[in-house]
């Protein structure tokens, strides 16, 4: 019994320590929590609401994994998740060299449906990339949350990036 209490207390303190290592970006229509060591950029670069950039994993790291959010007005377009995913896949095939769609599924988290799309390919001189996108439709807008990773690179940021994306909340 004593060992069980020690284990439970250790888990509680570990959870509290981890919670302190995360920050929250809260805006009028959404909020997201992210690791304290990620760099937040809200400059609007490339039409985004934010970029969250990981740290380099080594001096030879050629690509910094990141998460970004783009919001598109889809009012009057009779849009649903399937239609939005189809349009997005067509854009990917047109813009990304050697594009490969790995999966596309409608999921539900915290009572809100979203499309999860995973694809890979090449953009310009960058190394081959992998993207994980979550699409939400909310109050006439499409929220496109994207995790961008270097394809084939074993990175702790893939798991962590999806963890960040899963805590994204619409208001």
pLDDT of residue 12: 44
pLDDT of residue 62: 80
Is the CATH code 3.40.1000.10 the one for domain 22-170?
yes
CA-based end-to-end distance of the chain: 43
Cα→Cα distances 100→89, 120, 136, 154, 158, Å: 10, 5, 22, 19, 18
pLDDT of residue 43: 96
Structural domain spans, the chain: 22-170
Quote the pTM value.
Answer: 0.86
pLDDT of residue 54: 93
pLDDT of residue 2: 54
pLDDT tens, position by position, 7-38:
444 444 444 444 459 999 999 999 999 999 99
pLDDT of residue 153: 81
Per-block average pLDDT, block size 10, for the chain (171 residues)? 49 47 96 96 96 88 92 96 96 97 94 96 94 97 97 84 95 94
């Amino acid at each position: 019994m004593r060992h069980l209490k020690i284990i439970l207390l250790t888990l509680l303190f570990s959870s509290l320590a981890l919670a302190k290592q995360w920050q929250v970006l809260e805006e009028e229509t959404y909020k997201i929590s992210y690791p304290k060591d990620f760099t937040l950029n809200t400059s609007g670069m490339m039409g985004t609401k934010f970029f969250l950039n990981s740290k380099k994993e080594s001096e030879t790291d050629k690509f910094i994994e990141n998460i970004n959010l783009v919001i598109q007005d889809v009012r009057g377009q009779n849009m649903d998740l399937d239609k939005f995913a189809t349009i997005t896949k067509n854009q990917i095939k047109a813009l990304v060299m050697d594009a490969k769609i790995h999966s596309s599924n409608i999921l539900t988290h915290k009572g809100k449906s979203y499309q999860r799309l995973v694809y890979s390919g090449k953009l310009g001189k960058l190394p081959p990339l992998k993207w994980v996108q979550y699409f939400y439709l909310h109050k006439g807008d499409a929220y496109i949350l994207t995790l961008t990773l270097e394809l084939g690179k074993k990175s702790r940021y893939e798991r962590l990036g999806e963890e960040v994306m899963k805590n994204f909340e619409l208001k």
